[in-house]
Amino acid sequence: MAAINIVKPNFKDVFYNCDGHKEMAARADELWAEVIEHLTQNDLVTKSRLGMADRYCRCVTEYERWYPEAVAKGPTYKGPNGGDVFNLLWSACEKMLDRIGKMEDALMISPRAGEGKIKKNTPERKKDAASDFLGS
């Protein structure tokens, strides 16, 4: 199998139109380094995981950027006419957090994945009479 070329996305270009784009790009670069180190150490580097790592870094960076504002307003707030208004930013952050969890599972970096500690050598299964009969 040919070695996979790991190319870091240019997060400066990704976030250039955002408020705080320099800080966001720097944070995404940090996340990228962490995720790639994990994938490399655990022999998990594939083309699809590299694409997912890119999306993960973007999503976490955006979540961290917008979450404080969403929390400050809360899930609902008083609208201009005095009624309750649903905070769409709150909803967007909620959806981003859900996506982040799914990507962490797929990248094997979530607590459900053993905190990223992948067992490379699985213990051999005990042989029993049926295994001997079936030749396995």
pLDDT, tens only, 40-67 = 998 999 999 999 999 999 999 999 999 9
SS3 content of the chain, % helix, strand, coil (to 5): 60, 5, 35
Q: Residues 107-131: what's their mean pLDDT? A: 64
Give pLDDT, residue 116: 45
pTM above 0.95, yes or no: no
Close Cβ partners of 75 (under 8 Å, ≥ 6 residues apart) = 86, 87, 90
pLDDT, tens only, 16-48 = 998 899 999 999 999 999 999 999 998 999 999
